[in-house]
Amino acid sequence: MDIVQGPLPDGRPDTNHAPTLAGTTEQHALPGFEAVARLAANALGVPLVALLLSDGSAFWHNPPGYGDAPHMDGLLLAACREAARHGVAEVVADAREDARFLPAGIDPAQAEVAFFASEPVFGLDGQRLGALFVVDRRPRLALRAGELAALRDVAALAATGAALRCYLNRIDPSTRLPHRNAFFADLHAQLSRETDTAWLVAIETAPVARFNAFMRAMGHAYADALMHATAERVQGWMTPGMQLYQVASTRLAVLLPGSQEAPTPAQLDALVAMLRDPVDCLGIALTLQPGVGLLEIEAGELRGGDPLRRAMNASWIALGTARGWTAYDHRQDERQRQEFFLVTELAAALSERAELELHYQPRVELASGRCVALEALARWHHPTLGAVSPTTFVPLAEQAGLMRALTDWVFDHGLAQLAAWLRDGLDVRLSLNVSSIDLDAMLETRLAAAARRHGVPLARLELEFTESVAIHHDELTRHVLVALREAGVGIAIDDFGIGYSNLDALRRMPASSLKIDQSLVRSLDTRRHDAAIVRAMAALGHELGFRVVMEGVETASVLAAVRDMGCDEVQGHHITPPLPAIEVADWLRRHAITPAEASC
């Protein structure tokens, strides 16, 4: 077989072994190419016919009977690649004095290439697939019209073979790059021995949500062109022997040869900088936010493992970093896998398992010492992991689209418990935390439905929003909050003092309470500046008509410090930690809370 694919290390063709660059085998490296090469040789009388595809694959054929053929060495291959990038037909009748084909210091009479012609190869959709080349050691005066037509016809036939190869090798049709299946085939071939290793560079073009926004705004053709432009930039960064793959709609991967060392930090910085440069795509300039991940793969890891997933984990993490790239970190990966496990377990706990419960933390009025509200706090006791902190599962619920389900669960169980306390004669109100995700036009409807279901007056309820949610509100948010206040629901601004307060927005908030964040309250007995800030915020809250609540009252000295600060209510572990529902009634009674004494 005298068809070869790809350059050998020394640039010379090998007619016995066809090196593989794109994961193909010799027998269907390019279907029909031998026949195409014979037609071109017969029509033009040349001893060498070559085809370069835009995925970096190179094929050439030396038809018998045409004398001594030029070698497809590194110089000729580079010239072919340059011509293929230009994408236009070219005829060099006498190439002996063209620097592209003549090494420095070589007598033109000894030139390997004296005639060179190229013709672009296009697919059925009009996209350029590569270029076909004919080469001879003898110069020509020119190509006749019939020969030019034959060259174009042969290039069209080569396009058919290239299209078929795309299907056989599962080449991505938009970028013309090897697909994920080709990546794994090449990886397994490269790591054939137990001691083999390889380096993989994974590239996340842009966050998925942003890339989807590109498609919504500009269409799939724009997204395809953007990936193609990104792939070209990565190819410009690559060194000889590296192979580029498209492994997902927004993701690329570069496999380094086994003998090559890992890219240096400077090289990875250069890749990120190249990808961050504004790209002109279909006439529209766009700046991407890429993430690049680096992973070393050992042969043993291919059995039952997924190196591509781990590399993509690193590239996803890199999206949120200033540097834009990071090496794979097993600990970070395990944390993310644990988070995914927790999300699936939380979904099950919300729908079918009794692992969630509510604890209730009293808020006490300083002037009377009475409890004026109970804040409902979700707790999760996983059957194997034990207690899972709300600081862990609440953000996961927000990220995974489970927040509304969690809030509805809290509404339902909290109001059921409140109804039971009211039937037992306890005069209490219930405060419920609400996420920004819940703050939409349906919030009042959801809360009112839960209140009707359990026979609880809305005036017994208060909703808590964090400062950032409450302050950065729009007209829809304001309309919802006004409607809730008019229905009798209290509105508390939680964690106040640690965000970026807009005082004008705060002035217009239909809130009833201001809860100063515990991080400021905990140390106000020892830190003079914290005390000054808390005192000023309390005064501001009162001027705006809010009840002021101090969270994080953990010690007797802090409680003593807040008594002269104009605070209305206190909450914290010094008063009591959050209590299971079964302990609340006894705690209230021990603190002499009766229907006659309590006023909520």
For 293-312, the three-class secondary structure string (H helix, E strand, C coil) is EEEEEEHHHHCCCCHHHHHH
Answer yes or no: do 187 and 211 share one domain: yes
- Give percent of the chain with pLDDT exceeding 90: 36
Say what the pLDDT of residue 90 is.
92
Answer yes or no: do 8 and 115 share one domain: yes
Domain boundary among 144, 169, 194: 169
Beta-bridge mates of residue 4: 60
371-382 vs 461-466, strand pairing mode: unpaired
Q: 236 or 9, which is more confident? A: 236
Answer yes or no: do 229 and 283 share one domain: yes
Instruction: Look up tokens 């993490």; give the residue.
Output: 317
pLDDT in tens, 270-308: 999 999 998 887 777 778 889 999 999 888 877 767 888
SS3 589: helix
Nearest CA-CA partner of 547 in 579, 516, 592: 516
Answer yes or no: do 408 and 531 share one domain: yes
Answer yes or no: is 296 within a domain.
yes
Residue 509 has pLDDT above 50, yes or no: yes
Residue 429 has pLDDT above 80, yes or no: yes
Q: Tell me the CATH number at 252.
A: 3.30.70.270
Sign of CA dihedral 313, 318, 319, 320: positive
The vertex-582 CA angle with 579 and 586, nearest 5°, equals: 80
Confidence of residue 501 (pLDDT cuts 50, 70, 90): low
Q: Cα(216)–Cα(213) distance, rounded to whole angstroms?
A: 5
Confidence of residue 356 (pLDDT cuts 50, 70, 90): very high
Mean pLDDT of 460-483: 79
Q: Which residues neighbour 530 within 8 Å (Cβ) at sequence distance 6 or greater?
A: 520, 521, 523, 524
Query: What is the number of other CB atoms lying within 10 angstroms of the CB of residue 115?
Result: 24
Say what the pLDDT of residue 504 is.
67
Residue 345 has pLDDT above 50, yes or no: yes
Answer yes or no: is 597 within a domain.
no
Q: Cα(474)–Cα(471) distance, rounded to whole angstroms?
A: 9
Q: Cα(316)–Cα(348) distance, rounded to whole angstroms?
A: 27
Answer yes or no: is 350 within a domain.
no
CA 219 to chain CA centroid, nearest Å:
20
pLDDT in tens, 89-105: 999 999 988 888 888 77
Range of lowest pLDDT (74-83, 466-475, 524-533):
466-475
pLDDT in tens, 115-132: 999 999 987 667 788 899
Answer yes or no: do 252 and 307 share one domain: yes
Mean pLDDT of 325-329: 93
Nearest CA-CA partner of 382 in 413, 348, 412: 348
Confidence of residue 32 (pLDDT cuts 50, 70, 90): confident
Confidence of residue 106 (pLDDT cuts 50, 70, 90): confident
Answer yes or no: do 234 and 378 share one domain: no
Answer yes or no: do 187 and 163 share one domain: no
Say what the pLDDT of residue 252 is.
94
Answer yes or no: do 314 and 419 share one domain: no
Q: 326 or 468, which is more confident? A: 326
SS3 254: strand
With DSSP H G I counted as helix, E B as strand and the rest as coil, what are the percentages for the chain, rounded to 5?
40, 20, 35
Inter-residue contact 182 to 250 (CB < 8 Å): no
Confidence of residue 471 (pLDDT cuts 50, 70, 90): low
Say what the pLDDT of residue 464 is.
93
Residue 21 has pLDDT above 80, yes or no: no
Mean pLDDT of 589-594: 63
Query: What is the number of other CB atoms lying within 10 angstroms of the CB of residue 415?
Result: 23
Burial environment of residue 546 by CB neighbours within 10 A (0 to 12, 13 to 18, 19 or more) = buried
Say what the pLDDT of residue 498 is.
67
Say what the pLDDT of residue 450 is.
96
Answer yes or no: is 392 within a domain.
yes
Answer yes or no: do 311 and 376 share one domain: no
Q: Cα(7)–Cα(402) distance, rounded to whole angstroms?
A: 53
SS3 37: helix
Mean pLDDT of 344-373: 90
Residue 230 has pLDDT above 60, yes or no: yes
Say what the pLDDT of residue 502 is.
60
Answer yes or no: do 123 and 12 share one domain: yes
Q: Cα(503)–Cα(494) distance, rounded to whole angstroms?
A: 15
Domain boundary among 169, 190, 216: 169
Mean pLDDT of 21-28: 33
Which run of H or E residues covers position 130? strand 128-136
SS3 90: strand
Answer yes or no: is 38 within a domain.
yes
Residue 561 has pLDDT above 90, yes or no: no
Q: Cα(235)–Cα(230) distance, rounded to whole angstroms?
A: 9
Q: Tell me the CATH number at 97.
A: 3.30.450.40
Range of the domain at 287: 180-328
Q: Total domain count for the chain?
A: 3
Residue 14 has pLDDT above 80, yes or no: no
Answer yes or no: is 435 within a domain.
yes
Domain boundary among 169, 202, 221: 169
Q: Cα(170)–Cα(179) distance, rounded to whole angstroms?
A: 6
Q: 9 or 34, which is more confident? A: 34
Q: Cα(351)–Cα(232) distance, rounded to whole angstroms?
A: 48
Inter-residue contact 276 to 255 (CB < 8 Å): no
Residue 598 has pLDDT above 60, yes or no: no
Inter-residue contact 500 to 478 (CB < 8 Å): no
Range of lowest pLDDT (177-181, 454-458, 553-557):
177-181
Residue 13 has pLDDT above 60, yes or no: no
Say what the pLDDT of residue 10 is.
35
Answer yes or no: is 452 within a domain.
yes
Say what the pLDDT of residue 258 is.
78
Q: Cα(239)–Cα(235) distance, rounded to whole angstroms?
A: 8
Q: What are the tokens at 344?
A: 């699936």
Answer yes or no: is 314 within a domain.
yes
Q: Cα(437)–Cα(443) distance, rounded to whole angstroms?
A: 10
Say what the pLDDT of residue 500 is.
54
CA 324 to chain CA centroid, nearest Å:
12
Answer yes or no: do 236 and 165 share one domain: no
Burial track 7-24 (b if 16+ CB lie within 10 A, e otherwise): beeeeebeeeebebbbbb
Q: 325 or 7, which is more confident? A: 325
Answer yes or no: do 396 and 534 share one domain: yes
Q: Tell me the CATH number at 394.
A: 3.20.20.450
Q: What are the tokens at 595?
A: 């229907």
